[in-house]
Amino acid sequence: MVKSFASSHEKRWILSAMWGHLNTQAIPDRYSIPRLGDFHQILKETKIFSKIDLFKAYFQIPIAEEHKCKTAIITPFGLYEFNVMSFGLKNAPATFQRFIHEALRGLDFVFPYLDDILIASKSNQEHEIHLNLVLERLNTFDLRINISKSVFAVEEIEFLGYLITPQGSRPLPDKVQAIMNYKRPENIQDLRTFLGMLNFYRRYLKDAAKNQALLHEYLKGSKKKDKRKIQWTDEAEKQFEKCKNDLANATLLSFPNSELPLSLFTNASDTAIGAVLQQYENLTWQPIAFYSKKLNDTQQNYSTYDRELLGMYLSVKHFKHYLEGRIFTIYTDHKPLIFPFHQKLDKAAPRQARQLNYISQFSTDIKYIKGENNIVADTLSRVTEVSSIDYDQIADAQTQDEELKSLQTITSLNLKEYPLPSGKYLWCDTSTSKIRPYIPEAFRKQIFHHIHGLSHPGIKSTIKLMNSKFIWPSIKKDVQLWTRTCIPCQKAKINRHTKTKLGEFEVPSGRFCVVHIDLIGPLPPSRGNIYCLTCIDRFSNWMEAIHLDNISADTVTRAFYSNWIARFGTPHKLITDRGTQFRSETLQTLSKICGINLQHNTAYHPACNGKVERLHRTLKIALKAHNNLPWIDTLPTVLLGLRTAIQENSNHSIVQIVYGESLRLPGEFFSEPSIRTASESFANNLQKQMETVGPRTTRRNSSRHIFVNKDLENCSHVFNV
């Protein structure tokens, strides 16, 4: 071996640099290095692990005598030739990998990756036998091991950056912590470094392509070692933190077992595709690996069918090393994809035919699964789950809160400690029919976003809603400020500076007697739906928005019957515009059968159906405020928010008018209802209350005024909607 004349790190760098000319003349050795994740293949049902590190692995491979002259180097001490294989040689990794594979050939419980060797066994007795076999092989091939870096017979082991346990593998905690502590990159090069570290564990991350898409936008058109500063936006910073949190919550991946049933769940959104490979063990589907990919501009313009087919094709291609020779089922939430293999491919476009032909080489067993059941793969196109509020943390914060101590002296409040399931106590006001927890300052804005973010109602509605559920000293002032400065509201809402004469309408006699319906669309395509049938009850303002993929008369009539009449009964009067769907024979026949008085508004006079037209404006504003999500996923959340918002004139929410009590919202404090002994009296009181709750006559609110910001004349930027 060459005499040492530098540190280990410097020597490796120098040797890599000085072999440049020799490497250009060398014939490439195409022997492949294993994929890092391939060690999962030997780990099924294993419980005991060992790791052997070879001592200066490359230096244990001798160089042929006739080739030593090619490695000659000049040093301050003279001319030297290498006797053993050096770092930096073009074919060194392939040569050593071939050698170690030859040394351990036939041992299926071993996974060698260059100088690291993993040994996995099902029991201690079996592991002892396996270790003896491996050590005998290493001794036969005259290989030395590094005892200080080797680990023997443990139940958890670190290998190639992963933590291996009997239950599965996950990212190393210290590596995860290092990424969690990574500061926000200031330039393009730092961001590229961060994404590289994060994507080392990409197989553990659900919908990684979608979550990282905004960060990858900064890399477009960048150069190598690009030092340009990044102009971070609030949304980009949020995605940066989300990427780190996703890694912290990375899924535990099971080890592949060829004896267990295998399935591939695929899905596509408007911007990305995703898939999860799962096997059925312990009476449930367990993930083996995740896959996701961002669609390019051309692919994003594909139809829903083409995007879903592309997602299936790329997923099969990515997991082909798992799927070859296996019987498995492909699950999709796009029903048309289950039919192509039952009909002639002549009907398919050339690109579709190529993709279907490739998929058929692995499996033709494609089954439909409803979107709500396609939980893992469908996260690409599902609304982000509303994070719950940790009332245990709020209870801890209350113990140090000075404002709470001052509130305890106010006689109009009835503050009491309320027990939580964890055993802690939460201070709440019980002076009203609802238990209202006190919210410390650190949690107030989070609570506001949970309630206001459902449908982004106005200032007064939000104040009433918040005040009915929570308390703190400046709740009205804070909620007013946060609502007025809500960025999604400012982007989506338009303030009208004109006042229209209010119309006079007859007040209906009861709930669901008079119903207004209309259609909105075409909307941006979302899982094949581009229209909505909107329905609203004139008495209670209860609204429904039913997504449709077409607006034929038959589709609209069936949707109205299934989603309104089947739930709320037949209305006395149905008011529509003069659209062909509403003047069709299908709806006319339904009206005659059900005894509905069908009325159409005057042509070119939409004010006759103004109830539902005004709903359209509110609905579109709320959907637009959720601009980062597909509208079909946002729609249920928006409807929940609109139905629970307290109306300005009646001082009741829509659900109170319909159900007699309000609904519990995400993040709202939950209390067990008290046991009612006088059930008959309660029913009578509820009946009286329901009779008094109803719509108010149309009137102008004299206190309403147009808000114009005092800095409007001097501000530098305004939203142009």
- Full DSSP string of 58-82: GGGSBPPGGGGGGG-EEETTEEE--
Is 279 exposed, middle or buried (CB count within 10 Å of its CB: 0-12, 13-18, 19+)?
buried
| Domain boundary pick from 332, 354, 381 | 381
* Helical pair 610-625 and 631-644, crossing angle rounded to 10 deg: 120
Q: Is the pLDDT of residue 273 over 80?
A: yes
pTM: 0.39
Q: Is residue 721 part of a domain?
A: no
Q: Is residue 504 part of a domain?
A: no
Query: What is the span of the domain harbouring residue 229?
Result: 176-381
Same domain, 162 and 124: yes
Same domain, 239 and 353: yes
Which pLDDT tens digit goes with each residue over 40-87? 777 777 888 888 888 887 777 788 887 777 777 777 787 887 888 777
Report the C-alpha dihedral over residues 118, 122, 123, 124, rounded to 10 degrees. -10
User: 10 vs 230, which has greater pLDDT?
Assistant: 230
Same domain, 534 and 597: yes
Domain tally, the chain:
4
CA 521 vs. chain centroid, Å, equals: 27
Same domain, 188 and 160: no
CA distance 652 to 267: 41
First-residue to last-residue Cα distance in the chain? 73
Q: Is residue 344 part of a domain?
A: yes
464 Cβ neighbours under 8 A, 6+ residues apart = 646, 651
Q: Is residue 681 part of a domain?
A: no
Same domain, 434 and 478: yes
Q: Is the pLDDT of residue 278 over 60?
A: yes
Task: Please say whether the beta carbons of 160 and 146 come within 8 A.
Answer: no
CA distance 104 to 98: 10
Same domain, 159 and 90: yes
567 Cβ neighbours under 8 A, 6+ residues apart = none
Task: Please say whether the beta carbons of 278 and 290 come within 8 A.
Answer: no
The confidence band for 627, taking pLDDT boundaries of 50, 70 and 90, is: low
Q: Among residues 250, 255, 249, 248, which one has the least CA distance to residue 166?
A: 255
Which pLDDT tens digit goes with each residue over 332-372? 888 788 777 776 666 778 888 888 888 888 887 888 776 54
- Give the model's pLDDT for residue 389: 67
In degrees, to the nearest 5, what angle opens at C-alpha 672 toward C-alphas 671 and 678?
A: 130
Which pLDDT tens digit goes with each residue over 439-476? 888 788 888 877 777 777 878 878 887 887 888 888 88
Same domain, 194 and 164: no
**Which run of H or of E encompasses 437?**
strand 436-437
SS3 content of the chain, % helix, strand, coil (to 5): 40, 15, 40
CA distance 86 to 101: 19
| Domain boundary pick from 346, 381, 416 | 381
Same domain, 363 and 410: no
Q: Residue 223: which CATH number?
A: 3.10.20.370
- Give the model's pLDDT for residue 332: 84
